[in-house]
């Protein structure tokens, strides 16, 4: 395989860890000899665990003296710039230098300001030959939330709602109703699995007692949960049963969005009632809106999702795709930029 094919292999195999590595990016590393034969491969498999390069180096180490004599004969191909920071597991760039690997081929520069070129600098300062930019567009695409977050200094924010055919959210009595079909609700589980965090408000917590976990049939790092409320709530609610929860009693959404700009959360799914969903849309910081619409009406006793002057069009979204799920319609709107 040539370098291009090896990079594509690393990108492609890294994909399998999309749900377990998040909110970290997926990263693949392949170590080859002078004849471009693969000595080892490593992937960032789980959030908080070894980075791809370290896994590749550790696995190559087992071949030392068998398949090769010294690491200096080898080239490392990695989809993302090796990190410079100590982080949870130590700096990959320093580990590469320490092993005396002399050549590194990189897909994309790590946009994380903790790294952002500093990994390459460590390599170059230590005489490692670096080639950068091989299929960077693909690396960026497969880590779209991660790149988005660092470019825009805010997480990617999606608001998801389920509406009746007459645009209502729930009954004015606040009683919980399942508006959409079971298939749509299954689809929501898959949507949740993509996000780093799920945010809801006190009203939804009190009325629906939701778990807000992603119930899917594959392994994943569950989204963090975020609760916004300035009223009392029951700490025994389902919401608190699994995973970590951040609670904010402020309704300053800009502050909350800012808070996550400095964390490793790259994407937030807002699943709240009309008040909070509209408040988010009004910040102008929502990137995507997902609407599941059922064929059933709630009628006069139903509470509207959107009022006249805050209809979806007024928020500047355009319909990107639309699917039929049983008798429901799923529409994805994106910011009209
Ligand atoms: C690499 N190789 O395989 C990955 C990298 O919290 P930590 O220590 O795991 O660091 C996470 C950051 O490291 C992440 O935001 C990104 O900048 C980089 N990810 N870097 O050298 C890897 N997954
Ligand atoms: Zn690293």
**Ligand 1 centre and the CA of 92: distance in Å?**
9
- Residue 263 contacts residue 47 (beta carbons within 8 Å): no
Q: Tens of pLDDT along the chain (337 residues)?
A: 999 999 999 999 999 999 999 999 999 999 999 999 999 999 999 999 999 999 999 999 999 999 999 999 999 999 999 999 887 778 999 999 999 999 999 999 999 999 999 999 999 999 999 999 999 999 999 999 999 999 999 999 999 999 998 888 887 776 667 788 899 999 999 999 999 999 999 888 888 888 999 999 999 999 999 999 988 888 888 999 988 899 999 889 999 999 999 899 999 999 999 999 999 999 999 999 999 999 988 887 888 888 766 667 778 889 999 999 999 999 999 988 7
Query: Which residue of 13, 25, 105, 260 sits with most ligand 1 atoms within 8 Å of its CB, as the best mutation to test the pocket?
Result: 25
> What tokens appear for 63 in the block?
């071949």
Would residue 158 be called left, alpha or beta, if left means φ above 0 and alpha means ψ between -120 and 50 degrees? beta
Query: pLDDT value at position 135?
Result: 98
Query: pLDDT value at position 90?
Result: 83
Q: Judge if the beta carbon of residue 87 lies within 6 A of ligand 1.
A: yes
Query: pLDDT value at position 337?
Result: 74
Query: pLDDT value at position 303?
Result: 83
Q: Judge if the beta carbon of residue 117 lies within 6 A of ligand 1.
A: no
Catalytic residue among 53, 81, 94, 136: 53
Query: pLDDT value at position 244?
Result: 85
Atom of ligand 1 nearest to the CA of 43: 3
Nearest-ligand number for the alpha carbon of 115: 1
- Chain centroid to CA 214: how far? 13
Active site residue 5: no
State the Cα–Cα distance between residues 100 and 126, nearest whole angstrom. 9
State the Cα–Cα distance between residues 196 and 205, nearest whole angstrom. 19
From the list 180, 135, 154, the residue with the least C-alpha distance to 292 is: 180
> Ion ligand 2 — residues with CB under 5 Å?
51, 83, 92
Q: Judge if the beta carbon of residue 210 lies within 6 A of ligand 1.
A: no
| DSSP β-bridge partners for residue 38 | 32
Nearest-ligand number for the alpha carbon of 88: 1
State the Cα–Cα distance between residues 210 and 263, nearest whole angstrom. 25
From the list 58, 67, 134, the residue with the least C-alpha distance to 103 is: 134
Query: pLDDT value at position 230?
Result: 86
Query: pLDDT value at position 281?
Result: 92
Residue nearest atom 17 in ligand 1 by C-alpha distance: 112
Dihedral Cα 86, 90, 93, 94, nearest 10 deg: 100
Q: Judge if the beta carbon of residue 301 lies within 6 A of ligand 1.
A: no
State the Cα–Cα distance between residues 244 and 240, nearest whole angstrom. 8
State the Cα–Cα distance between residues 330 and 321, nearest whole angstrom. 8
Q: Judge if the beta carbon of residue 263 lies within 6 A of ligand 1.
A: no
Q: Judge if the beta carbon of residue 162 lies within 6 A of ligand 1.
A: no
Residue nearest atom 2 in ligand 1 by C-alpha distance: 51
Q: Judge if the beta carbon of residue 83 lies within 6 A of ligand 1.
A: yes
Question: 229: which residues sit within 8 A by CB, 6+ positions away?
Answer: 201, 202, 203, 205, 247, 248, 249
**Ligand 1 centre and the CA of 86: distance in Å?**
10
Query: pLDDT value at position 315?
Result: 82
**Ligand 1 centre and the CA of 28: distance in Å?**
11
Q: What is the pLDDT of residues 6-48, one digit of tens each?
A: 999 999 999 999 999 999 999 999 999 999 999 999 999 999 9
Kind plus residue range of the DSSP H or E element containing 60: helix 52-61
Strand 224-228 and strand 317-325: pairing?
unpaired
Q: Judge if the beta carbon of residue 122 lies within 6 A of ligand 1.
A: no
Nearest-ligand number for the alpha carbon of 44: 1
Residue nearest atom 13 in ligand 1 by C-alpha distance: 83
**Ligand 1 centre and the CA of 143: distance in Å?**
12
Query: pLDDT value at position 330?
Result: 96
In terms of Cβ atoms closer than 10 Å to its own Cβ (0-12, 13-18, 19+), residue 182 is: exposed
| Secondary structure of residue 335 in the 3-state scheme | strand
Would residue 121 be called left, alpha or beta, if left means φ above 0 and alpha means ψ between -120 and 50 degrees? alpha
Q: Is the pTM of this model over 0.85?
A: yes
């Amino acid at each position: 395989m040539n370098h291009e094919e090896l990079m594509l292999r690393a990108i492609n195999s890294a994909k399998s860890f999309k749900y377990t590595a998040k909110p970290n990016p997926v990263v693949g590393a392949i170590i080859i000899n002078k004849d471009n034969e693969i000595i080892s491969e490593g992937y960032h498999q789980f959030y908080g665990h070894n980075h791809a390069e370290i896994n590749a180096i550790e696995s190559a180490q087992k071949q030392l003296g068998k398949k090769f004599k010294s690491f200096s004969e080898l080239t490392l191909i990695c989809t993302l710039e090796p990190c410079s920071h100590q982080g949870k597991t130590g700096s990959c760039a320093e580990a590469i230098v320490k092993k005396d690997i002399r050549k590194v081929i990189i897909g994309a520069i790590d946009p994380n300001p903790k790294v952002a070129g500093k990994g390459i600098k460590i390599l170059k300062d230590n005489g490692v030959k670096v080639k950068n930019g091989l299929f960077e567009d693909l690396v960026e695409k497969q880590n779209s939330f991660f790149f988005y977050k660092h470019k825009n200094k805010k997480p990617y924010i999606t608001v998801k709602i389920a509406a009746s055919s007459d645009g209502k959210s729930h009954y004015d009595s606040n009683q919980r109703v399942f508006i959409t079909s079971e298939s749509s609700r299954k689809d929501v589980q898959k949507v949740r699995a993509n996000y780093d965090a799920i945010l809801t408000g006190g009203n939804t917590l009190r009325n629906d007692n939701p778990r807000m976990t992603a119930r899917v049939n594959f392994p994943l790092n569950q989204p963090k949960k975020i609760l916004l409320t300035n009223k009392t709530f029951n700490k025994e609610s389902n919401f608190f049963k699994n995973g970590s929860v951040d609670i904010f009693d402020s309704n300053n959404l800009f502050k909350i969005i800012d808070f996550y700009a400095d964390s490793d959360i790259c994407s937030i799914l807002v699943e709240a009632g009309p008040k909070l969903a509209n408040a988010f849309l009004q910040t102008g910081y929502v990137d995507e809106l997902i609407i599941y619409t059922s064929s059933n009406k709630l009628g006069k006793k139903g509470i509207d999702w959107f009022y006249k002057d805050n209809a979806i069009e007024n928020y500047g979204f355009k319909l990107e795709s639309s699917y039929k799920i049983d008798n429901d319609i799923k529409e994805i709107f994106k910011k009209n930029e």
